[in-house]
Amino acid sequence: MRQDWGITDASLVQRYKDGETIYELAESLGRSVMGVYKKLKKAGVTEFRKNRTPPDSRGAKSGRWKGGVSLGYQRARHGNWNQQRALALERDEHACQDCGATEKLCVHHQGDPANHSLENLRTLCSSCHIRLHRLHEARWGTKER
């Protein structure tokens, strides 16, 4: 795996503790959310939160990843995700907007992952999506479809 994060574990943890979310860190470092999560965990972080202002952290039980850091969970909380996702697929004619593939489609958030407005959503096939997120694990494709 890549090592060069351009940031030490200690400062990553510090930024996280200072209030940045895993999403924000991933974005600003150009890394995958999962990558940041793993790195934080390796660096000794045990408590994971999803937002700047942590809600009741006990509520994160349904998380697919330990600690409740789950996109599915986070999106499910914004009730219209399923609907918006379906609309985005419809608009994009069920085809990857990068390569035109029509299988293993994901609906990607171009910006804020909590913003499900159609302008923020883009249909991608899992390989384009994975490439976009610079992910090495094939996680996104199966989850977000």
Binding site for Zn ion (CB under 5 A): 96, 98-99, 101, 108, 125, 128
Residue whose CB is less far from Zn ion, 17 or 145: 145
**What's the min distance (Å) between Cβ of 108 and Zn ion?**
3
Nearest one of 45, 37, 35 to 13, comparing CA atoms:
45
Residue whose CB is less far from Zn ion, 67 or 144: 144
**What's the min distance (Å) between Cβ of 81 and Zn ion?**
13
The label of the residue with tokens 């979310």 reads 21
**What's the min distance (Å) between Cβ of 17 and Zn ion?**
26
Amino acid residing at 87:
L
Residue whose CB is less far from Zn ion, 17 or 64: 64
Using CB atoms within 10 A of its CB, is residue 100 exposed (0-12), middle (13-18) or buried (19+)?
exposed
